[in-house]
Amino acid sequence: MAWRLLQQVRVVDPLNRADYRADVLFRGDELVAIAPADIPPESERIPAEQLILAPPLVDLYSHSGQPGYEARETLTSLLAAAAAGGVQHLTLLPTTQPVIDDPAVWNSIQHDLPAESWTQVRVWAALSQGGAGKALSNLAELAAAGVVGFCDDSGLVNWPLLQRALTYLQPIQKCVALWPFDATLAAHGVARESLDALRLGLAEQLICCETIPLLAILELGRTVTTPIHLMRLSTARSVEILTQAKPETVTASVCWLHLLFDTGDLANYDPNLRLEPPLGTPTDRQSLIEGVKTGVIEAIAIDHTPLLYEEKMISFAEALPGAIGLELALPALWQGLVAPGHLTAVDLWHAISTAPAHILGLAPPQLQPPSRNVILFDPTAAWTVNAQSLRSRCHNTPYWQRTLRGQLSALSPSMSSGRTH
């Protein structure tokens, strides 16, 4: 295998809160040393000041099309997209068909995973049978099968059921991921309550759809030691509540698009911005960014949601909510938050790698040679988001046919995996 010395690479190490430049030595696609003392004389020396060496990404929750919705996404295309986006640890929601509420479903998914993949897959199991919020799944069996935790991926407001689940899971210490959302209060609203929603004639979703269940979950969290993760926070009021009253057992995440878009971006009624929860106001977006910066919101999730053309390219209100993101999140977040100085590079990598790993109970990725578990990211590389550049089978993204700046280098260890699936 060829030896390559990449000269003056920017090294971003969120685990040690470090950001510095150094030469890095690769043999093939394996990182051998950072600031090597001994360099093989046959090494190819490559100027690489534009590249960033960093740990791979860890995604807290995303959707798979397989099993049940293979027209949207297969496990093969999903893992190719993840590898192209630098996501080495991918955690799937139980929203397959059948729902992951039994160890047999998880075993079937494992059986269908491509034999060789740079990206590793884990799953959240459904907290309730069928994810219906009425009766608990067999939590002990699922925990023994190796799921990372439990999540119904819906606004669970069956408080007695949730209280029983949190109590039962205390000795098991598997995380419960909860989306603070009350569908009854939402009343089919498709845009966050705001002057923008009124001006555009979009049915509003009240802030209290999120904050009322959030407060209830926090109160329940004070009574148990079970780890709780709050998904998809989207309002300034939620950040304020967590700043004032967040138990130690509770963590939180925001989806990446809510940090980059807000209600002011809905003027074109782009159905790819039809999300759930809906985009917040500019004030919400700024508060969410600040929450990530201060650590009140520990993690940024990708929540990759592949949907077919006919499921999205209809009226804004009728379109199914969600957007893809595995290949887009890192360059868009860099371009939208790090380049203008809203977050540091270390802040970003902590939120999309180190913190999600802690939440999932994994050892956080680190720059520990020798290793293929690293990525090389080029924030200067410009590319157009289209069918030729994406590996996901679906194209539901507000970045469609737009130019993004930032992409994994062809030298990145994950890229050979991404090309083969």
Spatial separation of the C-alpha atoms in residues 137 and 149, rounded to whole Å? 12
In percent, how much of the chain has pLDDT > 70? 99
pTM (2 d.p.): 0.96
Q: What is the pLDDT of residue 417?
A: 54
Spatial separation of the C-alpha atoms in residues 201 and 55, rounded to whole Å? 44
Spatial separation of the C-alpha atoms in residues 130 and 153, rounded to whole Å? 11
In percent, how much of the chain has pLDDT > 90? 96
Q: Which residues lie below 8 Å from residue 246, measured CB to CB, with a gap of 6+?
A: 218, 252, 296
Map residue 267 onto helix, strand or coil: coil
Least confident stretch, 69-73, 167-171, 411-415: 411-415
Residue whose entry in the numeric block shows the structure tokens 């090294």: 11
**In this structure, what DSSP letter does residue 126 have?**
P
Q: Which residues lie below 8 Å from residue 410, measured CB to CB, with a gap of 6+?
A: none
Q: Is 154 within 8 Å of 131 (Cβ atoms)?
A: yes
> Does residue 419 carry a pLDDT above 70?
no
Spatial separation of the C-alpha atoms in residues 289 and 16, rounded to whole Å? 22
Q: How confident is the model at residue 421 (pLDDT cuts 50, 70, 90)?
A: very low
Mean pLDDT of the chain: 96
Q: What is the pLDDT of residue 418?
A: 42
> pLDDT for 193-202, tens place per residue?
999 999 999 9
> pLDDT for 64-94, tens place per residue?
999 999 999 999 999 999 999 999 999 999 9
Q: What is the pLDDT of residue 116?
A: 84
**In this structure, what DSSP letter does residue 131 have?**
G
State the alpha helices, DSSP H only, in 75-182: 75-84, 103-112, 139-144, 159-168
> Does residue 159 carry a pLDDT above 90?
yes
Q: Is 284 within 8 Å of 297 (Cβ atoms)?
A: no
Q: What is the pLDDT of residue 4?
A: 96
Spatial separation of the C-alpha atoms in residues 421 and 416, rounded to whole Å? 9
